[in-house]
Structure 1
């Protein structure tokens, strides 16, 4: 019969779980704990590799964001139209008024 053993690092809070044998099997529990600790030791290299991949992904996305795109002019026109509509609706004034009321009541 096995159960799950959870090991938590005191400083980092990093957790590892492992299947462990019955608590009466002291050697088996010890081996399970050592195996879990060994996996934690390998986490740093795995995390470094993942971080490297994420940095590359970020660079790729930033490059794509800087490129021209087909609908750029249409987007600029739509944003200008939205700003025009918002100014006509005077949405900022309504927000400022409610904020002033909140300040007065405080």
Structure 2
């Protein structure tokens, strides 16, 4: 009775009143007035209120923009990932051969 709790998945605050009635209302967010240079307002998964987060830069590959954290395969056996403006690539065929060799030992 007169207990208050927050439902994170619905972004509501609820209160159980003495007459066994539950009242819920949407949580209010403290909105940042302005994000700093290099930041943007984002809503993270599982969060109710937006926050300022660093802007993640895209990559450019063969005149194509690749979004941050995207995995792509520009050539057979080559797996690449864009990480904040930098491309990281691995030869996945060579790795598979090495893994198979270790499994045979």
Q: TM-score range by the shorter chain?
A: under 0.3
TM-score using structure 2 length:
0.26
Greater share of residues in helix: 1
Using the size of structure 1 for normalisation, the TM-score is 0.26
Q: From the two aligned structures, give the one with the greater strand fraction.
A: 2
